[in-house]
């Protein structure tokens, strides 16, 4: 980065530190009042209240309570006018919180166990940082506050609603990691996170008395054979360099101990890192389940519901992020990931259309053994609020630098 950008980085970090009381207060208010799915009206209202009075264009669409806030730089244009999108997701998870925090969830059956409350707070901080500096840059910053990330396709709905039109020239997002070292940013070029599809298999046999299985056609052992065969299929049909993870998380069949049921059902997930493996998994699962069931005289119906696509990060955007992080926080502030994570993210929908990247931000408490911290989606997940100053400052630095320089070819 240039000397000018380093000076801007110091200014952004100082300004982010000054905003921390507001950033922490917003995060904790959202944490105590979590909302699920595509419609998060109370969270949306808190965001709009936090943004009130800033020089923003606000867009909202019919499908979600998401917000696109647009900030125009008023500085002199020294090159092409660019646009960049920064994204923070809003929704919580359906589980009971067991952290003991003073600001723990007050909503039964909902908790911010994936850090989306911090994502919103950091992004609001970035809006305020950049709004205060708008005379120093030229171009457009789009701030995407997105509900429905936890399996509800919120990003896709906001795209379909036309809220992100015209598309920006680049896009960036962060995801906190409670079991990673405090303040460490990490990322990688190419696949960062997997696609995630839902799997349902229904095996149909013939019900009867448990004492006379020869007069029935028991679907339960057929279902068990299918589960075992899936694991062998994964190891023999998929390259270890283009992997798949297929997990059966639920099996259901029967009503009591002395009845052979007519049906047995299974539910699971399919995670892959390429369109090829995704298509192969779908085809092979259908062939395997139907074939095993037919061998026993039963039938199997396989239903695969497509979820998020693979999250693919542009190599130029990752290099851009790495150099920005190192300029702001030193070489120790960045780590290049050796392999993807098999979780999934609907920011993938944005990255299918726009070059960009997602980065992870370690949020374990300073001085703690981060390897022992509860991970994402745990009902005991906690994190260090102080890391949010880094997130807000880096959001703003990425935007300001991209508007000035763009991505290298």
Q: What is the pLDDT along the chain (409 residues), one digit of tens a residue?
A: 443 445 477 899 999 999 999 999 999 999 999 999 999 999 999 999 999 999 999 999 999 999 999 999 999 888 899 999 999 999 999 999 999 999 999 999 999 999 999 999 999 999 999 999 999 999 999 999 999 999 999 999 999 999 999 999 999 999 999 999 999 999 999 999 999 999 999 999 999 999 999 999 999 999 999 999 999 999 999 999 999 999 999 999 999 999 999 999 999 999 999 999 999 999 999 999 999 999 999 999 999 999 999 999 999 999 999 999 999 999 999 999 999 999 999 999 999 999 999 999 999 998 888 888 788 899 999 999 999 999 999 999 999 999 999 997 5
This prediction's pTM: 0.93
Strands (DSSP E) contained in 75-221 are: 83-89, 138-146, 170-177, 185-187, 190-193, 195-204, 208-209
Q: Give Cα 58 distance to the centre of its chain.
A: 23
Give the whole-angstrom CA distance, residue 397 versus residue 409.
20
Q: 325 and 296, same structural domain?
A: no
Cis previous bond, 166, omega within 30:
yes
Of 305, 329, 349, which residue is a domain's last? 305
The pLDDT value given to residue 409: 58
Q: 314 and 294, same structural domain?
A: no
Q: Where are the alpha helices (DSSP H) in 93-161?
A: 116-132, 154-160
The pLDDT value given to residue 3: 37
Strand 208-209, strand 259-260: pairing: antiparallel
Element (H, E) at 263: strand 263-272
Q: 245 and 203, same structural domain?
A: yes
With contact defined as beta carbons under 8 Å apart, do 351 and 167 qualify? no
With contact defined as beta carbons under 8 Å apart, do 220 and 254 qualify? yes
The pLDDT value given to residue 4: 42
Q: 170 and 147, same structural domain?
A: yes
Strand ranges of the sheet holding 334-336, from the earlier edge strand across to the other edge: 57-59, 67-74, 138-146, 83-89, 170-177, 356-362, 185-187, 334-336
Q: What is the CATH number of the domain that holds 174?
A: 3.40.630.10
Two structure tokens written together for 310? 């693979």
Q: 35 and 21, same structural domain?
A: yes
Q: 117 and 157, same structural domain?
A: yes
- SS3 at position 250: strand
Other C-beta atoms lying within 10 Å of the C-beta of residue 212: 9
The pLDDT value given to residue 337: 97
Give the whole-angstrom CA distance, residue 404 versus residue 408.
12
Q: 301 and 208, same structural domain?
A: yes
- What is residue 114's DSSP assignment? S
With contact defined as beta carbons under 8 Å apart, do 276 and 270 qualify? no
Other C-beta atoms lying within 10 Å of the C-beta of residue 407: 16
Q: 326 and 240, same structural domain?
A: no
With contact defined as beta carbons under 8 Å apart, do 105 and 114 qualify? no
The pLDDT value given to residue 27: 98
Strand 299-305, strand 195-204: pairing: antiparallel
The pLDDT value given to residue 1: 40
Strand 185-187, strand 334-336: pairing: parallel
Q: 188 and 334, same structural domain?
A: yes
Domains held by the chain: number: 2
Other C-beta atoms lying within 10 Å of the C-beta of residue 242: 13
Q: 9 and 139, same structural domain?
A: yes
Give the whole-angstrom CA distance, residue 198 versus residue 304.
6
In Å, what is the CA distance from 331 to each residue of 101, 172, 179, 325? Answer: 34, 20, 20, 8
Residues β-bridged to residue 302 = 201
Of 305, 322, 353, which residue is a domain's last? 305
Of 288, 305, 322, which residue is a domain's last? 305
Q: Domain residues for 322?
A: 3-193+310-405
Q: 260 and 185, same structural domain?
A: no
Q: 322 and 291, same structural domain?
A: no
The pLDDT value given to residue 98: 95
Q: What is the CATH number of the domain that holds 249?
A: 3.30.70.360
With contact defined as beta carbons under 8 Å apart, do 143 and 59 qualify? no
Helix, strand, coil percentages, rounded to 5, for the chain:
40, 25, 35
With contact defined as beta carbons under 8 Å apart, do 380 and 99 qualify? yes
Give the whole-angstrom CA distance, residue 174 versus residue 187.
10
Other C-beta atoms lying within 10 Å of the C-beta of residue 352: 14
């Amino acid at each position: 980065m240039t000397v000018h950008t380093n000076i801007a980085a110091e200014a952004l970090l100082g300004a982010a530190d000054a905003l921390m009381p507001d950033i922490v207060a917003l995060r904790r208010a959202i944490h105590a009042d979590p909302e699920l799915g595509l419609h998060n009206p109370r969270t949306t209202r808190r965001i709009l209240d936090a943004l009130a009075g800033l020089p923003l264009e606000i867009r909202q669409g019919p499908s979600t309570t998401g917000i696109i806030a647009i900030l125009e730089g008023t500085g002199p244009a020294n090159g092409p006018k660019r646009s960049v999108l920064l994204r923070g997701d809003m929704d919580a998870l359906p589980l009971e919180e067991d952290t003991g925090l003073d600001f723990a969830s007050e909503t039964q059956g909902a908790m911010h166990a994936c850090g989306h409350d911090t994502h919103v707070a950091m992004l609001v901080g970035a809006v305020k940082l950049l709004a205060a500096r708008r005379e120093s840059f030229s171009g457009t910053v789009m701030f995407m506050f997105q509900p429905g990330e936890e399996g509800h396709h919120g990003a896709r709905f906001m795209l379909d609603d036309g809220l992100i039109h015209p598309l920006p020239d680049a896009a960036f997002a962060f995801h906190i990691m409670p079991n990673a070292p405090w303040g460490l940013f990490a990322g990688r070029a190419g696949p960062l996170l997997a696609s995630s599809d839902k799997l349902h298999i229904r095996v149909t046999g013939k019900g009867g008395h448990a004492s006379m299985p020869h007069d029935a056609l028991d679907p339960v052992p057929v279902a068990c054979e299918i589960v075992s065969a899936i694991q062998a299929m994964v190891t023999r049909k998929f390259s270890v360099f283009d992997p798949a993870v297929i997990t059966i998380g639920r099996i259901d069949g029967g009503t009591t101990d002395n009845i052979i049921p007519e049906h047995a059902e299974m539910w699971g997930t399919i995670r892959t890192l390429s369109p090829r493996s995704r298509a192969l998994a779908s085809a092979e699962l259908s062939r395997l389940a139907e074939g095993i069931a037919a061998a026993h005289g039963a039938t199997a119906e396989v239903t695969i519901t497509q979820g998020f696509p693979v999250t693919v990060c542009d190599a130029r955007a990752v290099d851009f992020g790495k150099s920005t992080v190192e300029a702001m926080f030193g070489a120790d502030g960045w780590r290049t990931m050796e392999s993807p994570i098999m979780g999934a993210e609907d920011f993938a929908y944005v990255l299918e259309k726009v070059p960009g990247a997602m980065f992870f931000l370690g949020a374990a408490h300073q001085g703690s053994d981060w390897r022992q911290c509860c991970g994402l989606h745990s009902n005991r997940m906690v994190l260090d609020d102080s890391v949010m100053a880094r997130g807000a400052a880096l959001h703003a630095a990425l935007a300001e630098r991209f508007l000035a320089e763009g991505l290298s070819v």
